[in-house]
Structure 1
């Protein structure tokens, strides 16, 4: 049913009455009467809207109409009363993905260049010299617009060269395509908020959400941009910014391809071109001895680069730098300046930042598990993901290429990749599996010992299917309870953080914080090994957390959650992206959106009914 109202007048009355803390939202924290009367301007009939959720829905609907500039507009009462699960899922499917989609071209470049991370007076777009089409296209736009600069990256660059770009940081171009309408950028999906660029592992989880919402072309576009990055920048980047040129992220390219071909059988030539690039990335990024491949035969995260990561906020490393400033008898800021300029070189501090950049490459920035240790670790997650590369490549070769695939004049067989996977499984079991604890731990290959930090990454082998059934049972029965909280699994256990350093600050990838990728990987693992009832429980817990926060806080879908209080109110490190908006949440957050859609696809109907009633998990499990 629809009623007509005077948009601005009702909007202002509603805020005045209900938004008592004046944060431009209607939430459970507001102290208004939580009851608002709408008058139909045509029939003069009155309708009462009650409760935080319905009032915030009304605010959102009014905000959308205000943006259209209409004086009088129709309010759809069915949308105000829409069930929470249906509303959240609908908005993700029909609105949020579109709001998060970007392209680097005539249509979309200005939106990207205008973001808050651009520090140059004139925004800079870096384009690889290898990309002759892109160079010509963007130079023409630069000449036409005159409000941004194109800089050409040499075909082969060193980490020293990348460091010189830190005084003039900018975005990196992504793939373009050409058709009868001209050249356009291949679209990609950003996480949201201040993250206005394409991220590595975020994009995989986003891709799963897109496929769940039948957006196959956009998921394929993400794969195309992965391929472009490997071919032009040598790796899938942490994100497409100049200071990320020396850093990749967790390898999930093959997993995205597998999800795409499982969704719809595609032209084999499309898969062949991507399979070539997957194999190239596997060998040139992850299997170079002394870089990311280690003497154990297992791999590690190992970012290149020199000195402090460029992307952190001012003062982020003050506690780390202070002892070194004292060592050199300099004020902190003066020491920092000299260290950045490399007029002071300190081997110990350089080594700290090798670990720090590698930790950021892992996607877990930051965690006490990897502080000052990451590059020494054969981590469980990276080796699980590479096991899946080997299994996926074998699957593609068997299923689509009759057991033999030729790339760069080299012939690859199914058996070769299955043998690689078998060897890696043996090594993971040898170095990472702890039979007594029933968990996988990272292995410190430098100090030749297990690194017994209990992290959610212990479930990565479950996701990729390398566990025996006996190991899977131990993980689920013995390890999982250590991580389970009301709203899902935490990034680590509290005990492990305390064991590393009782005085350690809260870090956002540790206890008590919960993240979408950890939940989604766990779900996949539980599904793989037939733990159906536990799968339903863990999906429900996470979806309840997203739903209750959206219901009570004006549709908020944030980057992460504090599981100790089942809230988006996170005060560790960088805060929480996705919580800052006026009146209406327009984009959610990429991988949380994806987790909602993928979780709903796994959830049995009876649990969805409970979810709409916001029944607390502890009443059910």
Structure 2
């Protein structure tokens, strides 16, 4: 079989997360809040052997003159933001600006520095920008849309090969190539990346990456091959009646996230005081929401106004299960191309069964919209979100359903700058008034799939105009945008708004070129 062969590549050290490597020192630094962003220290590089730094810390921390900030800055190199030094020309077309940004956002293969959290990769790759200095899983698909428009086929292949390498060495694709992300993934877009590249290079691409797609599928479906009691779960798999198996987000750890340590411990304290929630239970839900990419949103809250009511692992998400359907269909075709008819038919059947389950468990007949499903309560969640457009993107919605979804988009989500993510304002970044590039593309392509071209064109006109307006004003491509009031910046979240920005660049180019 024509397949991907991982290169010979040696790590400098085992994959040890910074909170495990530094122990008490890590926790003390993160709880001291000397950095406004907890990710700063998680990404810091020690200037000498970590063991020596730890010993020195324990010797000195009780001295009267000890200062945590001075100690840390004297023993670690702090990471820099990406793009902050890039000077843009606001008079040039946005497309030309994005073309220049690709080289700024591209990182070359690197060796892991002793004590650092970055996992080295064998090929060049594009990072989102700002505080995001590593390759992110689901971001990369939308970045690749723009790389294709820019004729950067080699870079797309390099990124695909990096993800294949991660699957082969780790067994899955983590959120990003950091040791503190090794307990969770992100929305499984790998099969869409393979499809994108196969559109450029031919069907042989499906055969090439079949082993990695199969491994990714096995990762997400761990525990799903054995019968289970209805409405019970194991890791990312949830068993339902009649042998139906669907997926949820999960994280194998139930501790504070190293990159958001202070924020998580503060929220756990608040949840314990308000509801008596056990910290490990809260941490698991937080981490699962982080795996979803929607960190954070009222979508995951039992009470849309209360972050401490987060219950992500109780929820079957509509978008995740549509992505799993696509993975099953792509694996099926790859097996057919490999002359393995038995496995082709097996995965075609898996996809067919999942399609039936998607219509059964996610279509809310009373609301006429695709909703997430709370398998603990055995009912739909309350959150009406733009994730309900994923069945249109994957051509899974029956025609009558598609008309209802289009009506929701026009009446509830479409604003003067593009699409809202949800309809509620909570202060969370994946809620109103914010709009995000990947979800604009999913909805836009979904509308076009069902020939709702007028609504699709309205959406792209508003979104492209907002990006161009902001670029003329600031010279920046942003991570997210305020689509309700286009004179204001987006807000919310655990960090300041980031610029760069991989997926915004990619969706902008793809959508702009489709308009020509």
Name the TM-score class by shorter chain: 0.7 to 0.9
Match runs of 1:432-471 below 5 Å: 432-471=362-401
Distance in structure 2 (CA, Å) of the matches to 1:239 and 1:379: 21
1:191-230 superposed matches below 5 A: 191-230=128-167
Match of 2:479 among 539, 556, 559: 559
Match in the other structure for 2:63: none
Change (3 A) 1:589 1:534: same
Matching of residue 102 in structure 1 with residue 107 in structure 2: yes
Cross-structure match for 2:418: 488
In structure 2, relative to structure 1, the CA distance for the partners of 1:567 and 1:358 (3 Å cut) is: farther
SS of residue matched to 1:294: strand
Q: How does 1:98-177 map to 2 (within 5 A)?
A: 98-105=103-110, 125=112, 148-149=113-114, 170-174=117-121, 176=122
Aligned equivalents of 1:219 and 1:264: distance in 2? Answer: 11
Is the 1:570–1:576 Cα contact (8 Å) retained in structure 2?
A: no
Deviations 1:409-430 (A, max 9, x none): xx511x3222111111111111
Q: CA separation in 2, counterparts of 1:228 and 1:439?
A: 38
- Report the equivalent of 1:510: 431
In the alignment, which residue of structure 2 is the partner of 1:275? 210
Within 5 Å, which residues of 2 pair with 1:6-25? none
Q: Deviations over 1:290-340 (max 9, x none)?
A: 11110121110111113111111634542441464799xxxxxxxxxxxxx
Asked if 1:251 corresponds to 2:181, the answer is no
Give secondary structure in 1 for the equivalent of 2:151: coil
Q: Determine which of 83, 88, 98 is the counterpart of 1:92.
A: 98
Measured on the aligned residues, the alpha-carbon RMSD in Å equals 2.4
Cα shift at 1:472: 0.9
Q: What is residue 524 of structure 1 aligned with on the other side?
A: 445
Whole-Å separation in 2 of the counterparts to 1:256 and 1:539: 22
Between the aligned partners of 1:531 and 1:537, the Cα distance in structure 2 is: 10
Pair member with larger Rg: 1
Deviation of residue 369 (structure 1)?
A: 1.3
Cα distance change of structure 1 residues 366 and 317 upon mapping to structure 2, 3 Å threshold: farther
Residue matched to 1:378:
316
Which runs of 5 or more residues in structure 2 are unaligned?
Answer: 1-85, 225-233, 302-309
Determine if the alignment matches structure 1 residue 431 to structure 2 residue 361. Answer: yes
Number of the residue aligned with 2:512: 600
- 8 Å contact kept, 1:558–1:568: no
Residue aligned with 2:135, SS: coil
Unpaired runs of at least 5, structure 1: 1-62, 66-78, 110-124, 126-147, 150-167, 177-185, 328-345, 406-410, 498-504, 580-587, 605-621
- Residues 301 and 361 in structure 1, CA contact (< 8 A), matched pair in contact too: yes
Whole-Å Cα distance in 2 between the matches of residues 470 and 463 of structure 1? 15
C-alpha contact (below 8 Å) 1:192/1:577 kept by paired residues: no
Q: Counterpart of 2:237 in 1: which secondary structure? A: coil
Q: TM-score under structure 2 normalisation? A: 0.75
Contact 1:556 1:578 in 2 (8 A): no
| Larger proportion of strand | 1
> Aligned partners of 2:334 and 2:365: how far apart in 1?
33
String of CA shifts for 1:419-449, please: whole Å, max 9, x gaps: 1111111111111101232211111111211
Aligned length in residues: 411
Kindly indicate whether the alpha-carbon contact (under 8 Å) linking 1:559 and 1:576 is maintained by their aligned counterparts in 2: no
1:88 and 1:431, CA in 2 relative to 1: closer, same or farther beyond 3 A?
Answer: same
The 3-state SS of whatever aligns with 1:570 is coil
How many angstroms does 1:271 deviate by? Answer: 3.7
Residues 386 and 323 (structure 1), Cα distance of their counterparts in 2 relative to 1, 3 Å cut: closer
Q: Describe the shift of the 1:462–1:322 C-alpha distance in structure 2 as closer, same or farther (beyond 3 A).
A: same
Cα pair distance change 1:468/1:349, threshold 3 Å: same
Shift of 1:567: 4.6
1:113 corresponds in structure 2 to: none
Decide which of 221, 233, 240 is 1:286's aligned counterpart: 221
Structure 1, residues 334-368: CA drift from partner, whole Å, max 9, x if none? xxxxxxxxxxxx97221111111000000001111
Distance in 2, Cα, partners of 1:518 & 1:440: 15
Q: Does 1:591 align with 2:503?
A: yes
How many Å apart are 1:288 and its aligned residue?
2.7
The 1:315/1:419 distance shift into structure 2, 3 A limit, reads closer
Q: CA deviation at 1:232?
A: 1.2
8 Å contact kept, 2:491–2:497: no
